[in-house]
Protein backbone atom coordinates (compact mmCIF):
# COMPACT_ATOMS: atom_id res chain seq x y z
CA UNK A 1 0.00 0.00 0.00
CA UNK A 2 2.81 2.39 0.90
CA UNK A 3 4.42 1.65 -2.50
CA UNK A 4 1.21 2.70 -4.30
CA UNK A 5 1.07 5.90 -2.21
CA UNK A 6 4.67 6.72 -3.14
CA UNK A 7 3.92 6.14 -6.82
CA UNK A 8 0.78 8.31 -6.66
CA UNK A 9 2.61 11.09 -4.82
CA UNK A 10 5.41 11.00 -7.40
CA UNK A 11 2.95 11.16 -10.30
CA UNK A 12 1.07 14.02 -8.58
CA UNK A 13 4.34 15.88 -8.04
CA UNK A 14 5.29 15.52 -11.70
CA UNK A 15 1.83 16.68 -12.76
CA UNK A 16 2.00 19.75 -10.49
CA UNK A 17 5.49 20.53 -11.75
CA UNK A 18 4.31 20.39 -15.38
CA UNK A 19 1.34 22.66 -14.56
CA UNK A 20 3.68 25.19 -12.90
CA UNK A 21 6.00 25.07 -15.94
CA UNK A 22 3.06 25.56 -18.30
CA UNK A 23 1.77 28.63 -16.46
CA UNK A 24 5.32 29.92 -16.10
CA UNK A 25 5.71 29.79 -19.88
CA UNK A 26 2.33 31.50 -20.26
CA UNK A 27 3.49 34.27 -17.92
CA UNK A 28 6.71 34.71 -19.88
CA UNK A 29 4.70 34.94 -23.07
CA UNK A 30 2.45 37.63 -21.59
CA UNK A 31 5.49 39.57 -20.40
CA UNK A 32 7.16 39.35 -23.81
CA UNK A 33 4.00 40.27 -25.69
CA UNK A 34 3.27 43.22 -23.41
CA UNK A 35 6.44 45.07 -24.40
CA UNK A 36 5.84 48.44 -25.96
CA UNK A 37 6.17 48.83 -29.70
CA UNK A 38 9.10 51.21 -29.37
CA UNK A 39 12.00 49.23 -27.91
CA UNK A 40 14.20 52.32 -27.82
CA UNK A 41 13.56 56.00 -27.21
CA UNK A 42 15.36 58.18 -29.73
CA UNK A 43 16.38 61.51 -28.23
CA UNK A 44 17.76 64.57 -30.00
CA UNK A 45 21.46 64.53 -30.92
CA UNK A 46 21.59 60.73 -31.10
CA UNK A 47 24.20 58.65 -32.90
CA UNK A 48 23.40 55.28 -34.47
CA UNK A 49 26.00 52.71 -33.37
CA UNK A 50 26.71 50.14 -36.07
CA UNK A 51 27.93 47.10 -34.12
CA UNK A 52 27.67 44.08 -36.42
CA UNK A 53 29.51 41.36 -34.46
CA UNK A 54 26.49 39.02 -34.58
CA UNK A 55 25.87 36.67 -37.56
CA UNK A 56 24.32 38.72 -40.36
CA UNK A 57 21.71 36.83 -42.37
CA UNK A 58 19.84 38.32 -45.32
CA UNK A 59 16.64 37.33 -43.53
CA UNK A 60 16.30 37.49 -39.75
CA UNK A 61 13.43 35.02 -40.00
CA UNK A 62 9.82 34.79 -38.90
CA UNK A 63 9.18 31.92 -36.51
CA UNK A 64 5.85 30.42 -35.56
CA UNK A 65 5.47 28.44 -32.33
CA UNK A 66 2.70 25.98 -33.05
CA UNK A 67 1.84 25.26 -29.40
CA UNK A 68 2.40 28.79 -28.05
CA UNK A 69 1.59 31.45 -30.67
CA UNK A 70 2.24 34.28 -28.21
CA UNK A 71 5.93 33.37 -28.47
CA UNK A 72 6.03 33.90 -32.25
CA UNK A 73 9.16 35.73 -33.38
CA UNK A 74 9.61 38.32 -36.10
CA UNK A 75 13.17 39.54 -35.60
CA UNK A 76 14.44 42.67 -37.32
CA UNK A 77 18.22 42.20 -37.27
CA UNK A 78 18.67 40.81 -40.79
CA UNK A 79 20.77 42.52 -43.45
CA UNK A 80 17.88 44.39 -45.04
CA UNK A 81 16.40 45.37 -41.67
CA UNK A 82 19.74 47.03 -40.89
CA UNK A 83 19.80 48.71 -44.30
CA UNK A 84 16.21 49.90 -43.74
CA UNK A 85 17.32 51.30 -40.37
CA UNK A 86 20.21 53.20 -41.98
CA UNK A 87 17.88 54.55 -44.65
CA UNK A 88 15.33 55.59 -42.04
CA UNK A 89 18.05 57.26 -39.94
CA UNK A 90 18.90 59.38 -42.97
CA UNK A 91 15.50 61.13 -42.61
CA UNK A 92 15.34 61.01 -38.79
CA UNK A 93 16.17 64.50 -37.52
CA UNK A 94 17.15 63.06 -34.13
CA UNK A 95 19.92 60.91 -35.64
CA UNK A 96 22.94 63.08 -36.42
CA UNK A 97 25.43 60.46 -37.52
CA UNK A 98 26.60 56.85 -37.51
CA UNK A 99 29.45 55.31 -35.52
CA UNK A 100 31.09 52.10 -36.81
CA UNK A 101 32.74 50.98 -33.58
CA UNK A 102 34.95 47.88 -33.19
CA UNK A 103 32.85 45.82 -35.54
CA UNK A 104 34.44 42.40 -36.14
CA UNK A 105 31.75 42.09 -38.79
CA UNK A 106 30.22 38.65 -39.24
CA UNK A 107 28.93 38.94 -42.81
CA UNK A 108 29.79 37.98 -46.37
CA UNK A 109 31.54 40.28 -48.83
CA UNK A 110 28.36 41.00 -50.81
CA UNK A 111 26.46 41.71 -47.59
CA UNK A 112 29.26 44.05 -46.48
CA UNK A 113 29.14 45.81 -49.85
CA UNK A 114 25.36 46.30 -49.51
CA UNK A 115 25.81 47.82 -46.03
CA UNK A 116 28.58 50.01 -47.38
CA UNK A 117 26.26 51.29 -50.12
CA UNK A 118 23.62 52.23 -47.54
CA UNK A 119 26.26 54.11 -45.48
CA UNK A 120 27.48 55.95 -48.58
CA UNK A 121 23.91 57.08 -49.28
CA UNK A 122 23.47 58.12 -45.63
CA UNK A 123 26.67 60.18 -45.78
CA UNK A 124 25.42 61.97 -48.90
CA UNK A 125 22.59 63.41 -46.78
CA UNK A 126 25.14 65.57 -44.94
CA UNK A 127 25.22 63.52 -41.75
CA UNK A 128 28.54 62.12 -40.52
CA UNK A 129 29.89 58.56 -40.55
CA UNK A 130 32.92 57.82 -38.36
CA UNK A 131 34.72 54.57 -37.60
CA UNK A 132 36.92 53.27 -34.79
CA UNK A 133 38.88 50.06 -34.45
CA UNK A 134 41.25 48.45 -31.98
CA UNK A 135 41.80 45.88 -34.71
CA UNK A 136 40.61 46.13 -38.30
CA UNK A 137 40.16 42.87 -40.14
CA UNK A 138 40.17 43.27 -43.89
CA UNK A 139 36.38 43.06 -44.11
CA UNK A 140 35.98 45.47 -41.17
CA UNK A 141 38.18 47.96 -42.95
CA UNK A 142 36.29 47.51 -46.23
CA UNK A 143 33.09 48.61 -44.46
CA UNK A 144 34.77 51.34 -42.39
CA UNK A 145 36.60 52.83 -45.38
CA UNK A 146 33.35 54.57 -46.34
CA UNK A 147 33.57 56.74 -43.19
CA UNK A 148 34.42 60.45 -43.16
CA UNK A 149 37.02 59.86 -40.46
CA UNK A 150 38.69 56.55 -39.56
CA UNK A 151 40.35 56.07 -36.16
CA UNK A 152 42.77 53.33 -35.07
CA UNK A 153 43.95 52.57 -31.53
CA UNK A 154 47.62 53.62 -30.94
CA UNK A 155 48.53 50.00 -30.20
CA UNK A 156 46.00 48.56 -32.63
CA UNK A 157 46.44 46.51 -35.81
CA UNK A 158 45.17 46.57 -39.36
CA UNK A 159 44.88 43.74 -41.86
CA UNK A 160 45.22 44.84 -45.48
CA UNK A 161 46.92 42.15 -47.52
CA UNK A 162 44.61 40.81 -50.24
CA UNK A 163 42.34 37.76 -50.21
CA UNK A 164 43.11 34.08 -49.88
CA UNK A 165 41.31 30.81 -49.38
CA UNK A 166 42.52 27.41 -48.24
CA UNK A 167 41.19 23.93 -48.98
CA UNK A 168 41.93 20.63 -47.29
CA UNK A 169 42.54 17.49 -49.39
CA UNK A 170 41.71 14.05 -48.04
CA UNK A 171 42.85 11.51 -50.66
CA UNK A 172 45.90 10.31 -48.70
CA UNK A 173 43.92 10.35 -45.45
CA UNK A 174 41.29 8.11 -47.06
CA UNK A 175 43.94 5.60 -48.13
CA UNK A 176 45.56 5.55 -44.70
CA UNK A 177 42.33 5.39 -42.70
CA UNK A 178 40.42 3.01 -44.96
CA UNK A 179 37.44 5.37 -45.01
CA UNK A 180 36.77 6.92 -48.42
CA UNK A 181 34.11 8.71 -50.43
CA UNK A 182 32.81 7.16 -53.65
CA UNK A 183 32.43 10.12 -56.03
CA UNK A 184 30.81 10.62 -59.43
CA UNK A 185 30.83 14.16 -60.83
CA UNK A 186 30.13 16.07 -64.03
CA UNK A 187 31.96 19.31 -64.73
CA UNK A 188 35.74 19.70 -64.76
CA UNK A 189 35.43 22.73 -62.48
CA UNK A 190 33.04 21.03 -60.00
CA UNK A 191 35.43 21.32 -57.09
CA UNK A 192 33.11 20.46 -54.20
CA UNK A 193 34.27 16.83 -54.30
CA UNK A 194 37.83 17.36 -55.53
CA UNK A 195 39.37 17.02 -52.03
CA UNK A 196 38.22 13.37 -51.98
CA UNK A 197 39.70 12.61 -55.43
CA UNK A 198 43.13 14.23 -55.26
CA UNK A 199 45.85 15.16 -52.80
CA UNK A 200 46.40 18.60 -54.30
CA UNK A 201 44.45 21.30 -56.12
CA UNK A 202 43.81 20.82 -59.85
CA UNK A 203 44.83 23.46 -62.38
CA UNK A 204 41.17 23.98 -63.35
CA UNK A 205 40.15 24.58 -59.74
CA UNK A 206 43.11 26.86 -59.06
CA UNK A 207 42.21 28.85 -62.18
CA UNK A 208 38.57 29.42 -61.21
CA UNK A 209 39.38 30.27 -57.57
CA UNK A 210 42.08 32.71 -58.68
CA UNK A 211 39.67 34.39 -61.12
CA UNK A 212 36.87 34.92 -58.63
CA UNK A 213 39.19 35.92 -55.75
CA UNK A 214 40.82 38.56 -57.95
CA UNK A 215 37.40 39.76 -59.10
CA UNK A 216 36.24 40.16 -55.47
CA UNK A 217 39.47 41.90 -54.48
CA UNK A 218 39.26 44.28 -57.46
CA UNK A 219 35.72 45.25 -56.45
CA UNK A 220 36.82 45.94 -52.87
CA UNK A 221 39.81 47.98 -54.06
CA UNK A 222 37.66 50.09 -56.37
CA UNK A 223 35.29 50.97 -53.52
CA UNK A 224 38.15 51.77 -51.12
CA UNK A 225 39.95 53.76 -53.80
CA UNK A 226 36.89 55.91 -54.38
CA UNK A 227 36.26 56.55 -50.67
CA UNK A 228 39.89 57.19 -49.68
CA UNK A 229 41.12 58.82 -52.94
CA UNK A 230 43.94 56.29 -53.21
CA UNK A 231 44.81 54.89 -56.67
CA UNK A 232 44.13 51.16 -57.06
CA UNK A 233 47.78 50.48 -57.96
CA UNK A 234 48.84 52.13 -54.72
CA UNK A 235 46.40 49.94 -52.75
CA UNK A 236 48.01 46.86 -54.31
CA UNK A 237 51.47 48.05 -53.27
CA UNK A 238 50.19 48.66 -49.73
CA UNK A 239 48.78 45.13 -49.62
CA UNK A 240 51.88 43.50 -51.15
CA UNK A 241 54.27 45.16 -48.69
CA UNK A 242 51.89 45.12 -45.68
CA UNK A 243 52.19 48.91 -45.41
CA UNK A 244 49.19 49.18 -43.06
CA UNK A 245 50.16 46.57 -40.49
CA UNK A 246 50.47 49.07 -37.63
CA UNK A 247 48.84 52.45 -36.85
CA UNK A 248 51.70 54.66 -38.06
CA UNK A 249 52.04 52.79 -41.37
CA UNK A 250 48.26 52.78 -41.85
CA UNK A 251 48.14 56.55 -41.33
CA UNK A 252 51.11 57.28 -43.61
CA UNK A 253 49.43 55.08 -46.25
CA UNK A 254 46.27 57.23 -45.90
CA UNK A 255 44.11 54.21 -44.99
CA UNK A 256 43.18 55.88 -41.68
CA UNK A 257 42.89 59.48 -40.51
CA UNK A 258 43.60 59.49 -36.78
CA UNK A 259 45.51 57.44 -34.24
CA UNK A 260 43.59 57.80 -30.97
CA UNK A 261 42.17 56.03 -27.95
CA UNK A 262 38.48 55.17 -27.73
CA UNK A 263 37.68 57.98 -25.26
CA UNK A 264 39.22 60.47 -27.70
CA UNK A 265 37.05 59.00 -30.46
CA UNK A 266 33.90 59.51 -28.34
CA UNK A 267 34.99 63.06 -27.42
CA UNK A 268 35.45 63.80 -31.13
CA UNK A 269 31.80 62.91 -31.77
CA UNK A 270 30.70 64.98 -28.76
CA UNK A 271 32.62 67.97 -30.12
CA UNK A 272 30.98 67.56 -33.53
CA UNK A 273 27.54 67.48 -31.88
CA UNK A 274 28.26 70.37 -29.51
CA UNK A 275 27.97 68.16 -26.41
CA UNK A 276 30.04 68.83 -23.28
CA UNK A 277 32.85 66.26 -22.90
CA UNK A 278 31.60 65.40 -19.40
CA UNK A 279 28.17 64.39 -20.66
CA UNK A 280 27.25 60.99 -22.07
CA UNK A 281 26.87 60.48 -25.79
CA UNK A 282 23.44 59.13 -26.72
CA UNK A 283 24.38 56.00 -28.69
CA UNK A 284 21.64 53.74 -30.09
CA UNK A 285 22.58 50.20 -31.10
CA UNK A 286 21.55 49.33 -34.63
CA UNK A 287 19.73 46.14 -33.53
CA UNK A 288 17.44 48.24 -31.31
CA UNK A 289 17.03 50.97 -33.91
CA UNK A 290 16.12 48.36 -36.53
CA UNK A 291 13.14 47.32 -34.39
CA UNK A 292 12.24 50.98 -33.89
CA UNK A 293 12.50 51.79 -37.62
CA UNK A 294 10.53 48.67 -38.51
CA UNK A 295 7.63 49.78 -36.32
CA UNK A 296 7.69 53.21 -37.95
CA UNK A 297 7.75 51.71 -41.44
CA UNK A 298 4.72 49.55 -40.64
CA UNK A 299 2.68 52.71 -41.06
CA UNK A 300 2.79 52.05 -44.80
CA UNK A 301 -0.71 50.64 -45.39
CA UNK A 302 -0.47 50.51 -49.17
CA UNK A 303 -2.75 47.79 -50.51
CA UNK A 304 -0.21 46.82 -53.18
CA UNK A 305 2.48 44.43 -51.97
CA UNK A 306 5.65 42.83 -53.29
CA UNK A 307 6.59 39.49 -51.76
CA UNK A 308 10.26 38.99 -50.89
CA UNK A 309 10.97 35.27 -50.48
CA UNK A 310 14.34 34.47 -48.91
CA UNK A 311 16.09 31.28 -50.04
CA UNK A 312 19.09 31.34 -47.70
CA UNK A 313 21.23 28.31 -46.87
CA UNK A 314 21.73 24.76 -48.19
CA UNK A 315 18.95 23.48 -50.46
CA UNK A 316 17.52 20.27 -49.00
CA UNK A 317 14.63 17.95 -49.71
CA UNK A 318 12.89 19.02 -46.50
CA UNK A 319 10.35 21.45 -45.13
CA UNK A 320 13.05 23.97 -44.29
CA UNK A 321 14.08 26.17 -41.40
CA UNK A 322 16.33 29.15 -40.78
CA UNK A 323 19.58 28.44 -42.65
CA UNK A 324 18.07 25.59 -44.69
CA UNK A 325 16.24 26.13 -47.99
CA UNK A 326 13.60 23.42 -47.89
CA UNK A 327 11.37 22.96 -50.92
CA UNK A 328 8.38 22.75 -48.56
CA UNK A 329 8.68 26.23 -47.02
CA UNK A 330 9.78 27.92 -50.26
CA UNK A 331 7.03 26.37 -52.36
CA UNK A 332 4.35 27.22 -49.77
CA UNK A 333 5.63 30.81 -49.83
CA UNK A 334 5.46 30.93 -53.63
CA UNK A 335 1.94 29.50 -53.58
CA UNK A 336 0.73 32.01 -50.98
CA UNK A 337 2.27 34.92 -52.89
CA UNK A 338 0.80 33.66 -56.15
CA UNK A 339 -2.72 33.35 -54.76
CA UNK A 340 -2.72 36.63 -52.79
CA UNK A 341 -4.35 39.28 -54.99
CA UNK A 342 -2.68 42.07 -53.02
CA UNK A 343 0.77 40.75 -53.91
CA UNK A 344 1.56 42.10 -57.36
CA UNK A 345 5.09 40.75 -57.89
CA UNK A 346 7.67 38.48 -56.27
CA UNK A 347 11.37 38.94 -55.55
CA UNK A 348 13.25 35.74 -54.76
CA UNK A 349 16.37 36.58 -52.74
CA UNK A 350 18.85 33.73 -53.25
CA UNK A 351 21.83 33.30 -50.93
CA UNK A 352 22.61 29.62 -51.31
CA UNK A 353 25.48 27.32 -52.33
CA UNK A 354 22.92 24.84 -53.68
CA UNK A 355 22.29 21.27 -52.55
CA UNK A 356 19.68 18.67 -53.44
CA UNK A 357 18.99 18.36 -57.18
CA UNK A 358 15.47 17.07 -56.49
CA UNK A 359 14.58 19.96 -54.16
CA UNK A 360 16.04 22.45 -56.67
CA UNK A 361 13.86 21.03 -59.44
CA UNK A 362 10.75 21.14 -57.22
CA UNK A 363 11.38 24.81 -56.43
CA UNK A 364 12.08 25.48 -60.14
CA UNK A 365 8.69 23.99 -61.00
CA UNK A 366 6.89 26.19 -58.47
CA UNK A 367 8.62 29.27 -59.90
CA UNK A 368 7.55 28.14 -63.39
CA UNK A 369 3.91 28.05 -62.23
CA UNK A 370 4.25 31.37 -60.40
CA UNK A 371 5.84 33.41 -63.18
CA UNK A 372 2.88 32.60 -65.45
CA UNK A 373 0.76 34.60 -63.00
CA UNK A 374 3.07 37.28 -61.58
CA UNK A 375 6.50 38.79 -62.29
CA UNK A 376 9.36 36.92 -60.56
CA UNK A 377 12.66 38.76 -60.14
CA UNK A 378 15.75 37.21 -58.52
CA UNK A 379 18.15 39.13 -56.29
CA UNK A 380 21.41 37.30 -55.56
CA UNK A 381 23.35 37.66 -52.32
CA UNK A 382 26.82 36.35 -51.46
CA UNK A 383 26.16 32.97 -53.08
CA UNK A 384 23.76 31.79 -55.73
CA UNK A 385 25.70 28.82 -57.00
CA UNK A 386 24.79 25.42 -58.43
CA UNK A 387 21.32 24.58 -57.05
CA UNK A 388 21.08 28.25 -56.04
CA UNK A 389 21.55 29.19 -59.69
CA UNK A 390 19.23 26.38 -60.82
CA UNK A 391 16.26 27.97 -59.03
CA UNK A 392 17.31 31.50 -60.04
CA UNK A 393 17.59 30.70 -63.76
CA UNK A 394 13.82 30.51 -64.18
CA UNK A 395 13.10 34.12 -63.16
CA UNK A 396 12.05 36.91 -65.50
CA UNK A 397 15.17 38.88 -64.53
CA UNK A 398 18.28 38.19 -62.41
CA UNK A 399 20.07 40.90 -60.43
CA UNK A 400 23.39 40.12 -58.70
CA UNK A 401 25.97 42.03 -56.70
CA UNK A 402 29.36 42.38 -58.44
CA UNK A 403 30.77 40.23 -55.59
CA UNK A 404 28.10 37.50 -55.80
CA UNK A 405 29.52 34.02 -56.46
CA UNK A 406 27.25 32.26 -58.92
CA UNK A 407 27.18 29.66 -61.70
CA UNK A 408 28.70 26.28 -60.77
CA UNK A 409 26.46 24.52 -63.29
CA UNK A 410 27.46 20.94 -62.57
CA UNK A 411 26.41 17.84 -60.63
CA UNK A 412 28.03 15.36 -58.30
CA UNK A 413 27.07 12.29 -56.33
CA UNK A 414 29.01 11.13 -53.27
CA UNK A 415 28.69 8.04 -51.06
CA UNK A 416 30.82 7.12 -48.02
CA UNK A 417 32.63 3.79 -48.24
CA UNK A 418 34.19 1.97 -45.29
CA UNK A 419 35.35 -1.29 -46.91
CA UNK A 420 39.06 -0.92 -46.09
CA UNK A 421 38.28 0.48 -42.65
CA UNK A 422 36.04 -2.50 -41.92
CA UNK A 423 38.71 -4.92 -43.15
CA UNK A 424 41.30 -3.31 -40.90
CA UNK A 425 38.94 -3.71 -37.94
CA UNK A 426 38.08 -7.32 -38.75
CA UNK A 427 34.55 -6.61 -39.95
CA UNK A 428 33.15 -8.51 -42.94
CA UNK A 429 29.78 -7.76 -44.55
CA UNK A 430 27.86 -10.49 -46.40
CA UNK A 431 24.76 -9.87 -48.57
CA UNK A 432 21.93 -12.17 -49.60
CA UNK A 433 19.93 -10.98 -52.63
CA UNK A 434 16.92 -12.00 -54.71
CA UNK A 435 17.97 -10.08 -57.84
CA UNK A 436 21.18 -9.05 -59.54
CA UNK A 437 20.97 -5.35 -58.66
CA UNK A 438 19.16 -5.62 -55.33
CA UNK A 439 22.20 -4.08 -53.58
CA UNK A 440 22.31 -0.55 -54.97
CA UNK A 441 24.83 0.57 -52.35
CA UNK A 442 26.53 -0.79 -49.24
CA UNK A 443 28.79 1.17 -46.90
CA UNK A 444 30.90 -1.98 -46.50
CA UNK A 445 31.48 -2.68 -50.21
CA UNK A 446 33.07 -0.56 -52.96
CA UNK A 447 30.88 0.41 -55.89
CA UNK A 448 31.10 -2.16 -58.67
CA UNK A 449 31.20 -1.24 -62.36
CA UNK A 450 27.47 -1.67 -62.82
CA UNK A 451 26.52 0.37 -59.75
CA UNK A 452 28.85 3.18 -60.81
CA UNK A 453 27.36 3.09 -64.34
CA UNK A 454 23.80 3.50 -62.99
CA UNK A 455 24.84 6.38 -60.72
CA UNK A 456 26.71 8.13 -63.55
CA UNK A 457 23.68 7.69 -65.78
CA UNK A 458 21.53 9.48 -63.20
CA UNK A 459 24.14 12.25 -62.82
CA UNK A 460 24.21 12.71 -66.61
CA UNK A 461 20.42 13.01 -66.70
CA UNK A 462 20.45 15.70 -64.00
CA UNK A 463 23.31 17.61 -65.66
CA UNK A 464 21.43 17.51 -68.96
CA UNK A 465 18.27 18.80 -67.28
CA UNK A 466 20.23 21.51 -65.42
CA UNK A 467 21.80 22.71 -68.68
CA UNK A 468 18.39 22.67 -70.37
CA UNK A 469 16.81 24.74 -67.56
CA UNK A 470 19.58 27.34 -67.82
CA UNK A 471 19.41 27.47 -71.63
CA UNK A 472 15.63 27.98 -71.63
CA UNK A 473 15.61 30.41 -68.71
CA UNK A 474 18.44 32.57 -70.04
CA UNK A 475 17.64 32.29 -73.80
CA UNK A 476 20.97 30.63 -74.53
CA UNK A 477 21.84 27.69 -76.76
CA UNK A 478 22.99 24.47 -75.13
CA UNK A 479 26.42 25.07 -76.66
CA UNK A 480 26.61 28.52 -75.04
CA UNK A 481 25.64 27.05 -71.69
CA UNK A 482 28.32 24.36 -71.98
CA UNK A 483 31.07 26.97 -72.42
CA UNK A 484 30.16 28.60 -69.08
CA UNK A 485 29.08 25.43 -67.25
CA UNK A 486 31.30 22.45 -66.31
CA UNK A 487 30.82 23.40 -62.67
CA UNK A 488 32.71 26.69 -63.02
CA UNK A 489 31.88 29.53 -60.63
CA UNK A 490 31.76 33.20 -61.60
CA UNK A 491 31.44 36.49 -59.78
CA UNK A 492 28.37 38.61 -60.52
CA UNK A 493 30.58 41.02 -62.51
CA UNK A 494 31.68 38.18 -64.82
CA UNK A 495 28.23 36.57 -64.89
CA UNK A 496 26.75 39.71 -66.49
CA UNK A 497 29.26 39.36 -69.32
CA UNK A 498 28.49 35.69 -70.01
CA UNK A 499 24.70 35.99 -69.81
CA UNK A 500 24.03 34.23 -66.49
CA UNK A 501 22.92 37.53 -64.90
CA UNK A 502 21.04 40.51 -66.35
CA UNK A 503 22.29 43.41 -64.27
CA UNK A 504 24.39 44.35 -61.24
CA UNK A 505 22.68 45.72 -58.16
CA UNK A 506 21.09 44.89 -54.84
CA UNK A 507 17.67 44.03 -53.51
CA UNK A 508 16.54 47.63 -54.04
CA UNK A 509 17.10 47.33 -57.80
CA UNK A 510 15.28 43.97 -57.90
CA UNK A 511 12.31 45.57 -56.10
CA UNK A 512 12.37 48.45 -58.59
CA UNK A 513 12.14 46.03 -61.53
CA UNK A 514 9.42 44.02 -59.77
CA UNK A 515 7.34 47.19 -59.28
CA UNK A 516 7.83 48.21 -62.91
CA UNK A 517 6.84 44.75 -64.13
CA UNK A 518 3.70 44.88 -61.99
CA UNK A 519 3.01 48.49 -63.08
CA UNK A 520 2.84 49.84 -59.53
CA UNK A 521 4.67 52.77 -57.95
CA UNK A 522 3.86 52.51 -54.24
CA UNK A 523 3.93 49.18 -52.41
CA UNK A 524 4.59 47.42 -49.13
CA UNK A 525 6.99 44.48 -48.73
CA UNK A 526 5.75 41.16 -47.35
CA UNK A 527 8.48 38.74 -46.27
CA UNK A 528 8.48 34.94 -46.57
CA UNK A 529 8.88 32.18 -45.43
CA UNK A 530 7.49 31.67 -41.91
CA UNK A 531 9.22 28.83 -40.04
CA UNK A 532 7.77 26.61 -37.34
CA UNK A 533 9.53 25.58 -34.13
CA UNK A 534 9.10 22.53 -31.95
CA UNK A 535 9.01 22.40 -28.16
CA UNK A 536 12.69 21.43 -27.80
CA UNK A 537 13.82 24.45 -29.77
CA UNK A 538 11.44 26.70 -27.83
CA UNK A 539 12.90 25.55 -24.50
CA UNK A 540 16.40 26.13 -25.82
CA UNK A 541 15.54 29.68 -26.88
CA UNK A 542 14.05 30.39 -23.44
CA UNK A 543 17.24 29.17 -21.77
CA UNK A 544 15.50 26.27 -20.04
CA UNK A 545 17.59 23.68 -21.86
CA UNK A 546 21.05 23.77 -23.33
CA UNK A 547 21.20 22.84 -27.00
CA UNK A 548 23.20 19.82 -28.04
CA UNK A 549 25.21 21.98 -30.46
CA UNK A 550 26.10 24.38 -27.62
CA UNK A 551 27.40 21.53 -25.47
CA UNK A 552 29.44 20.10 -28.37
CA UNK A 553 30.90 23.51 -29.25
CA UNK A 554 31.95 24.02 -25.63
CA UNK A 555 33.52 20.57 -25.32
CA UNK A 556 35.22 20.37 -28.73
CA UNK A 557 36.09 24.02 -29.31
CA UNK A 558 34.74 26.12 -32.18
CA UNK A 559 37.20 24.97 -34.88
CA UNK A 560 36.72 21.26 -34.14
CA UNK A 561 32.96 21.79 -33.98
CA UNK A 562 33.06 23.38 -37.45
CA UNK A 563 34.74 20.23 -38.81
CA UNK A 564 32.10 18.06 -37.11
CA UNK A 565 29.32 20.18 -38.65
CA UNK A 566 30.91 19.82 -42.11
CA UNK A 567 30.99 16.02 -41.80
CA UNK A 568 27.34 16.03 -40.64
CA UNK A 569 26.35 18.36 -43.50
CA UNK A 570 27.87 16.00 -46.06
CA UNK A 571 26.24 12.94 -44.47
CA UNK A 572 22.78 14.58 -44.65
CA UNK A 573 22.92 15.11 -48.41
CA UNK A 574 20.74 12.59 -50.21
CA UNK A 575 20.63 12.02 -53.94
CA UNK A 576 22.57 13.94 -56.58
CA UNK A 577 23.88 17.32 -55.50
CA UNK A 578 24.07 20.68 -57.24
CA UNK A 579 26.41 22.29 -54.76
CA UNK A 580 29.20 24.85 -54.43
CA UNK A 581 32.04 24.04 -51.97
CA UNK A 582 30.42 26.11 -49.21
CA UNK A 583 33.25 25.26 -46.80
CA UNK A 584 35.55 27.43 -48.92
CA UNK A 585 36.23 30.42 -46.67
CA UNK A 586 37.55 33.67 -48.12
CA UNK A 587 39.93 35.48 -45.79
Instruction: Residue 200: count other Cβ atoms within 10 Å of its Cβ.
Output: 12
**Is the distance from CB of 292 to CB of 504 less than 8 angstroms?**
no
- Distance from C-alpha of 204 to C-alpha of 410, rounded to nearest angstrom: 14
How would you classify residue 109: left for phi > 0, otherwise alpha for psi between -120 and 50, otherwise beta?
alpha
Residues 6+ apart with CB under 8 A from 463: 186, 187, 410, 411
For residue 469, report the phi and psi dihedrals to the nearest 5 degrees: -60, -45
Residues 6+ apart with CB under 8 A from 449: none
Is 229 marked active-site? no
- Distance from C-alpha of 392 to C-alpha of 381, rounded to nearest angstrom: 12
Closest CA to 73 of 85, 61, 82: 61
3-state secondary structure of 318: coil
3-state secondary structure of 549: helix
- Distance from C-alpha of 426 to C-alpha of 420, rounded to nearest angstrom: 10
Query: Helical H runs in 53-150?
Result: 79-91, 109-124, 138-144
**From 76, 123, 190, 371, the catalytic residue:** 190
Rounded to the nearest angstrom, the gap between the alpha carbon of residue 67 and the centroid of all alpha carbons in its chain is: 29
Closest CA to 268 of 155, 137, 129: 129
For residue 364, report the phi and psi dihedrals to the nearest 5 degrees: -55, -45
Strand order in the sheet with 46-49: 258-259, 149-158, 128-136, 95-101, 46-49, 283-285
Q: How many residues does the chain have?
A: 587
Farthest CA pair distance, the chain: 91
Instruction: Residue 3: count other Cβ atoms within 10 Å of its Cβ.
Output: 7
As a 3-state breakdown, the chain gives helix, strand, coil percent values, each rounded to 5, of 45, 20, 35
Residues 6+ apart with CB under 8 A from 354: 314, 315, 360, 385, 386, 387, 388, 389, 390, 408, 577, 578, 579, 580
Bridge partners of 285?
49
Is 210 marked active-site? no
**From 386, 393, 467, 579, the catalytic residue:** 386
Three-state helix/strand/coil letters over 217-231: HHHHHHHHHHHHCCC
**Element containing residue 312 per DSSP (H, E):** strand 305-312
CA distances from 427 to 181, 267, 419, 537 (A): 19, 71, 9, 39
**Is the distance from CB of 52 to CB of 103 less than 8 angstroms?**
yes
- Which residues are designated catalytic? 190, 386
Amino acid sequence: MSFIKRVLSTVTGIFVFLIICFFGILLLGVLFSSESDDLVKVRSNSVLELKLDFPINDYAGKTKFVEYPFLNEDKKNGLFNIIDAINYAETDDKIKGISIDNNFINAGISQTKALRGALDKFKASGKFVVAYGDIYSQKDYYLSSVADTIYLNPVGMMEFKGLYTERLYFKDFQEKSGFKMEVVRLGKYKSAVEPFLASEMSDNNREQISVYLNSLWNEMKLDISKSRSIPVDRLNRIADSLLARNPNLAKSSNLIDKIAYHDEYLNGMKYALGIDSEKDLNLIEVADYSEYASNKLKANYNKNKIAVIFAEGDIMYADGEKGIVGHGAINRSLQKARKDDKIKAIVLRVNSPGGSALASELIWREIELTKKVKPVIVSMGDLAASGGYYIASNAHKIIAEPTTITGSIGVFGMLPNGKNLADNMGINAEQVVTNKNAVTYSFFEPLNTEQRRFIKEGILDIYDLFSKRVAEGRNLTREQVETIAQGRVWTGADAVKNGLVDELGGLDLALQYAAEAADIQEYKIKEFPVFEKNLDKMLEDLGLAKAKKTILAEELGEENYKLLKEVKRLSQKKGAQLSFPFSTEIK
